[in-house]
């Protein structure tokens, strides 16, 4: 199955297109985000490959800003994470990649956890900080409030949003930050 979505950034200039392909062996997210960061334009392309349990296996990112291009590959091997072949110990044991510039990766723990209404789970994510593209540990929690609503928290509860999702797990309303404009 293949699904796609376009988001508009609310708090800053930007748009993103994301495509989800699901197969019997796993899932693949591909996308392009066009964003401004402190007046610097960025065009960020990404590809995330997951196993059939929705754990991240690999993430490729290409960032094109005004005069530079950066290509990165994050690999999840066992408990370890590598960035362009170099181990990043601070994110050892994380199951998910979390792209700091995108709502696309909230889909990964939502699909993997399969929470029932009222259930909660804590997640340790390998967070890709934007625009540095460094990996950092980000502890998160998800609580399913309703069929299509999740409470998301990170930074020890300092950051919280109630995320509205669609039947595919895509965030359609990330209050104050992203809103879906179209989807299939």
Task: Tell me what percent of the residues of the chain surpass a pLDDT of 70.
Answer: 100
Cα 39 to Cα 61, 64, 177, distances in angstroms = 21, 14, 17
Task: Give the count of beta carbons closer than 10 Å to the beta carbon of residue 105.
Answer: 26
pTM for the full predicted model: 0.95
Contacts with 67 (C-beta within 8 Å, 6 or more apart), sequence order: none
Residue 66: pLDDT above 80? no
As a whole number, mean pLDDT of residues 65-79 equals 90
- Cα-based angle 88, 42, 59 (whole degrees, multiple of 5): 35
Using CA atoms, how far apart are residues 98 and 105, in angstroms rounded to an integer? 5
- Give the helix ranges, DSSP H, for the chain: 107-113
First and final C-alpha spacing in the chain: 11
* Residue-level pLDDT at 38: 86
Number of domains in the chain: 1
* Residue-level pLDDT at 127: 97
Give me the chain's average pLDDT, please: 96
CA torsion 178-166-168-14 (nearest 10°) is -10
Residue 32: pLDDT above 90? yes
Tens-digit pLDDT profile for residues 92-132: 999 999 999 999 999 999 999 999 999 999 999 999 999 99
As a whole number, mean pLDDT of residues 161-180 equals 97
The domain of 101 spans 2-183
């Amino acid at each position: 199955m293949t699904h796609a979505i376009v988001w508009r950034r609310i708090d800053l200039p930007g748009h993103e297109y994301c495509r989800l392909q699901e197969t019997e062996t796993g899932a693949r997210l591909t996308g392009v985000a066009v964003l401004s960061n402190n007046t610097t334009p960025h065009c960020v392309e990404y590809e995330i490959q997951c196993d059939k349990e929705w754990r991240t296996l690999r993430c490729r990112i290409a960032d094109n800003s005004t005069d530079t291009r950066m290509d990165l590959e994050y690999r999840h091997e066992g408990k370890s994470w590598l960035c362009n072949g170099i181990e990043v110990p601070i994110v050892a044991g994380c199951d998910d990649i979390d792209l700091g510039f995108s709502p696309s990766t909230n889909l990964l723990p939502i699909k993997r956890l399969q929470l029932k209404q009222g259930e909660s789970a804590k997640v340790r994510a390998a967070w890709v900080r934007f625009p540095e593209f460094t990996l950092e540990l980000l502890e998160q929690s998800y609580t399913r409030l309703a069929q299509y609503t999740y409470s998301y928290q990170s930074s020890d509860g300092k950051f919280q949003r109630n995320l509205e999702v669609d039947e595919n797990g895509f965030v359609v309303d990330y209050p104050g930050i992203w809103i879906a404009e179209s989807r299939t």
